[in-house]
Structures are given as C-alpha cells and as structure tokens.
Amino acid sequence: MLIIPAVDIMDHRVVQLVGGVPGTEKITMDDPVAAALSWIEKGAKALHIIDLDGAFGKENNIPVIKRIIERCKVPAEVGGGIKDEGTIKELLDAGADKVIVGTKAIKDRDWLFEMSKKFPGKLLLAMDTKGGKIAIKGWQEDSQISVEEMFRIIKDMPLAGILNTNVDVEGRGEGIDGSQAREFISKCPHPVISSGGVTTEQDAITLAKAGAAAAVVGVSVYTGLMEPWKWAIPWVATGSPNE
C-alpha cells in the first residue's frame, strides 16, 4: 500500500486544516513547490495535491499545481473544485497522473459517466464522508445520495479508483476510524485511497489489511507524529477484499 503526502493549497500557501474548516490551520508553508519537493527529497513516490481555493469556489491554483508536477516528476493526483472537461484535460496534459472529481461528479452522475468514458482509468471519484454521509462543496454540505447508492451507480464506470476522506477525523492527529475504513473499502467496487486521520504506522497497517490501495497523510507527517521512514506498507493480508 502506497503512502502519499498531501499538499493542500489555500491562499497560495500549503495548509493543513482540521476537518477541512478554514481558519483551523495547523500547518502553513508559504511555498507550495518547495513543500512538495521536500517530500520528494524524503523519498515520497507520489503526491496528493488539493486546490482548497478551487474546492471552496475561489480562484484556483492551477498555475502553481502545474509547477509542482513539472518540478517533482512523480505521479500526482490532483483535485479541488474540478467541474469541467477542459480542466481535467488541462491537468492531464500538464502531467497529472490522476484527476480527482467530487462535487460535480456526485451531483451530476451523467457527467461523471461521460467523463469516465472520455478519460478511462484517469479519474478518481472523491466520496468524502462526514457523519456517515457523502460531503460535498469542500465538505461544507451533505449530498442527498447514500454511499451505498453511489457504489451501485459507479460499479461499472472505468474509474481509476475512489478517494475516501473521513472528514470526522481529518486533520486531528488522533488516528483513523478503522471500522468506517474497513466497511467502506470492503463494499467499494473500485480501489480505495483512504484519507483522514492517518497518524501512525499502525493506522497505515490497518488500512493495508483492509485492502486500501493507498493512504494519504497530512498533519501527521508535517508535524512529525508519523515518520515517513518508508513510503509503502507491505500487504499483510493475502490480497484485497475486493479481489
């Protein structure tokens, strides 16, 4: 299971928020490119880049995201307020390995189906959960569709995978909700990238055992709670529960 550091960009800086709430920054770094490069220098094999301004409906940070992709030269999954085909193509053309779609995709499933057909194996669907419901619009609103219904809708779409951030534990540095992660991963019809609360090696092992394809880490590595001494956790089960 791959461990991926998060580079969350807001107001042209790298930040780490608690539960995605603006004003709760635990970490701020003025240079997003330098922050991303620091993880590559420490051995990271991929990057998770989120444009929080785009997610909150503000001016996007695509120019700096392109610079990060160009300088870092590792697979990068990029998301945050992406709502149109042009932006997806722009990011993929710039070298993004995967593009994360969320609010637009959850609310307009026909659009998601169309985009998945145009960009097969390149889209990650963000199914972020808060209080057991899918959270949209930068985690500020609950959607009107259940996790189970969304699984049924996307079952046969050619998606690269699902990004599941547990907003309830995101940014708190208190560990994952193992029960929630295991249930989500076991029921999801696509590979899952887990995010939210990954604080210790044991959290990562729990996710690997549950069958997660990758885990996104944020506050824990920025604050030193989790030492990124290795960037992959070996399978400790005989395979993914989805196999």
Tens-place pLDDT, residues 89-98: 999 999 999 9
Residues 32-40, mean pLDDT to the nearest whole number: 95
Residues 105-134, mean pLDDT to the nearest whole number: 93
- Asked if residue 228 belongs to a domain, the reply is no
- Residue 229, pLDDT score: 54
Q: Token pair for residue 90?
A: 């722009």
User: Active-site residue among 11, 53, 108, 128?
Assistant: 128
What is the spatial distance between Cα 149 and Cα 154, in angstroms, rounded to a whole number?
A: 9
- Asked if residue 101 belongs to a domain, the reply is yes
CATH code (residue 38): 3.20.20.70
pTM of the full predicted structure?
0.88
- Residue 221, pLDDT score: 84
Averaged pLDDT of the chain: 86
The set of residues, in sequence order, having a beta carbon less than 8 Å from that of 225 and lying 6+ positions away, is 173, 199, 200, 219
Domain that holds residue 14: 2-222
Q: Where is 55: in which H helix or E strand?
A: helix 52-55
Tens-place pLDDT, residues 149-160: 999 999 999 999
Phi, psi of 100 (to 5 degrees): -95, 125
Are the beta carbons of 85 and 124 closer than 8 angstroms? no
- Asked if residue 237 belongs to a domain, the reply is no
- Asked if residue 242 belongs to a domain, the reply is no
- Asked if residue 38 belongs to a domain, the reply is yes
- Asked if residue 235 belongs to a domain, the reply is no
Quote the number of domains for the chain: 1
Could you confirm whether 128 is annotated as catalytic? yes
- Asked if residue 169 belongs to a domain, the reply is yes
Q: Token pair for residue 3?
A: 């461990």
Residues 219-243, mean pLDDT to the nearest whole number: 63
What is the spatial distance between Cα 204 and Cα 213, in angstroms, rounded to a whole number?
A: 11
Which band of pLDDT confidence, cut at 50, 70 and 90, is reported for residue 141?
A: low
Could you confirm whether 8 is annotated as catalytic? yes
Residues 209-222, mean pLDDT to the nearest whole number: 90
In the predicted model, is pLDDT for residue 143 greater than 70? no
Tens-place pLDDT, residues 50-69: 999 888 888 899 999 999 99
What is the spatial distance between Cα 240 and Cα 174, in angstroms, rounded to a whole number?
A: 26
Name the nearest CA neighbour of 32 among 46, 18, 17, 11. 11
For the chain, what's the residue count? 243
User: Active-site residue among 8, 51, 53, 203?
Assistant: 8
* Long-range CB contacts (within 8 A, 24+) of 105-108: 106/134, 106/136, 106/143, 106/145, 106/150, 107/136, 107/143
Q: Lowest mean pLDDT: which of 62-71, 178-187, 224-233? A: 224-233
- Residue 237, pLDDT score: 43
